[in-house]
């Protein structure tokens, strides 16, 4: 196993997000990610970085890059697992020929599955066949298809080989196969290539409605040597706020229509959208209070005071700051 080659492929896989807070340790070749509420150390890699597609933001486009075989990827996973560095894997691939590239992901995935990984995520590449999507859902805990952007016109500007229709078809297949087998399904959008927050969150809401488990937001980072190298990197603040708005859609039952009340010219406010929404409302449910997650909401609804909740070890700093503006007993907890 050529460690340098694997290290390069692992590092080139960084543009695919496994969790919004996933951290990469290049020395151990691992990503620390989350599967549900559990932390998982992942071996996250491409099999090859040679791509015949032309996505304008990607350093692998038209590139004769580094190549490994599915066996080499499997051996690297086995080695890292035996050393105790990783327990799961996330396998993706650049595209030489779509079906061949997907086949390599499946081959590596099938070998890794035999090692009982705690988590296995397989990427569905554009152009994968229906049968390959089905096999991926049989092997993996999670499969994913990257939507890339909510806008069809932006999609056509940034990629000419892969098409939005192609991606959406795999997304529909993937979702269907994942649901049948109780697997989870995720996707990713690039943030900062001309789309608005409104476009992103409108699509995110639709995706959650049809059963997508997670939508990840990847702030655009210009890559040297690509046609988009001179574009500005997206601000972290925007990505953080999109994740906050996403949590409101996904976890707190807000609708896109409600979020839209906070937009200015199609963009979220600079502040936490939950705070902006809470300040607009006369009556708030516990879950709608900034700083209140599901657990604290339950405690508030059961009659515990903030002081008691704090004594239980929860941070109530954000809640207290908000309560300074509006007294808690004014809020309905129904």
Shortest Å, Cβ 17 to ligand SF4: 13
Q: Is 9 in the site for ligand SF4 (CB under 6 A)?
A: no
The three-state secondary structure class of 215 is: strand
Nearer to ligand SF4, 51 or 292 (CB): 51
Out of 6, 29, 55, 275, name the contact with ligand SF4 by CB under 6 A: 55
Q: Is 124 in the site for ligand SF4 (CB under 6 A)?
A: no
Q: CA-CA distance, 289 to 305, in Å (whole number)?
A: 14
Q: Is 122 in the site for ligand SF4 (CB under 6 A)?
A: no
Strands (E), the chain: 23-25, 30-35, 38-46, 88-92, 119-123, 142-144, 184-191, 214-219
Q: Are 238 and 227 in contact (CB under 8 A)?
A: no
Q: Is 145 in the site for ligand SF4 (CB under 6 A)?
A: no
Shortest Å, Cβ 261 to ligand SF4: 35
The three-state secondary structure class of 119 is: strand
Out of 9, 51, 124, 319, name the contact with ligand SF4 by CB under 6 A: 51
Q: CA-CA distance, 45 to 135, in Å (whole number)?
A: 20
> Strands 119-123 and 88-92: what pairing?
parallel
Nearer to ligand SF4, 41 or 60 (CB): 60
Q: Are 89 and 44 in contact (CB under 8 A)?
A: yes
Q: Are 133 and 177 in contact (CB under 8 A)?
A: yes
Produce one character per residue of 70-104: b if its CB has 16 or more CB atoms within 10 Å, e if not: bebbbebbbbbbeeeebbbbbbbbbbeebeebbbb
Helical ranges in 56-97 per DSSP H: 70-82
Cα-based distances in Å from 38 to 18, 113, 253: 13, 19, 23
Shortest Å, Cβ 228 to ligand SF4: 12
Shortest Å, Cβ 281 to ligand SF4: 41
**Binding segment (CB under 6 A) for ligand SF4, from list 54-62, 78-86, 106-114, 267-275:** 54-62
Q: Is 60 in the site for ligand SF4 (CB under 6 A)?
A: yes
- Binding track over 187-216 against ligand SF4, x by CB under 6 A: ------------------------------
How many CB atoms are located within 10 Å of the residue 134 CB? Answer: 15
Shortest Å, Cβ 94 to ligand SF4: 4
Q: Segment 76-105, which members bind ligand SF4 (CB under 6 A)?
A: 94-95
**Binding segment (CB under 6 A) for ligand SF4, from list 57-65, 129-137, 250-258, 285-293:** 57-65
Q: What residues make contact with ligand SF4 under the rule CB under 6 A? A: 51, 53, 55, 58, 60-61, 94-95, 162
């Amino acid at each position: 196993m050529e460690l340098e080659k694997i290290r390069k492929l692992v590092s080139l896989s960084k543009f695919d997000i496994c969790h919004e807070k996933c951290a990469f340790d290049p020395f151990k070749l691992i990503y620390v990610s989350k599967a549900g509420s559990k932390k998982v150390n992942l071996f996250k890699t491409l099999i090859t970085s040679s791509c015949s597609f032309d996505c304008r933001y990607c350093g692998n486009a038209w590139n004769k890059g580094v190549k490994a075989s599915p066996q080499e990827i499997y051996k690297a996973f086995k080695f890292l697992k035996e050393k105790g560095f990783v327990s799961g894997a996330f396998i993706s691939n650049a595209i030489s020929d779509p079906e061949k590239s997907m086949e390599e992901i499946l081959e590596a995935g099938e070998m890794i599955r035999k090692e009982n990984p705690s988590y296995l995520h397989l990427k569905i590449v554009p152009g994968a066949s229906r049968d390959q999507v089905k096999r991926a859902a049989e092997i993996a805990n999670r499969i994913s298809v990257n939507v890339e952007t909510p806008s069809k016109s932006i999609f056509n500007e940034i990629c000419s080989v892969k098409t939005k229709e192609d991606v959406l078809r795999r997304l529909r297949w993937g979702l269907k196969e994942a649901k049948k087998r109780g697997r989870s399904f995720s996707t990713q959008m690039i943030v900062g290539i001309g789309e608005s927050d409104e476009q992103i969150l409108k699509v995110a809401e639709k995706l959650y409605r049809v059963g997508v488990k997670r939508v990840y937001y990847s702030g655009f980072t210009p890559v040297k040597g690509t046609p988009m190298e001179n574009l500005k990197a997206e601000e972290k603040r925007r990505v953080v706020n999109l994740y906050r708005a996403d949590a409101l859609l996904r976890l707190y039952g807000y609708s896109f229509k409600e979020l839209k009340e906070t937009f200015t010219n199609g963009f979220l406010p600079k502040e936490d959208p939950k705070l902006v929404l809470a300040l607009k409302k006369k009556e708030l449910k516990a879950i709608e209070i900034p700083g209140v997650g599901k657990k604290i909401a339950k405690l508030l609804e059961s009659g515990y005071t903030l002081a008691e909740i704090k004594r239980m070890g929860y941070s109530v700093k954000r809640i207290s700051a908000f309560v300074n503006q509006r007294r808690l007993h004014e809020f309905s907890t129904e």
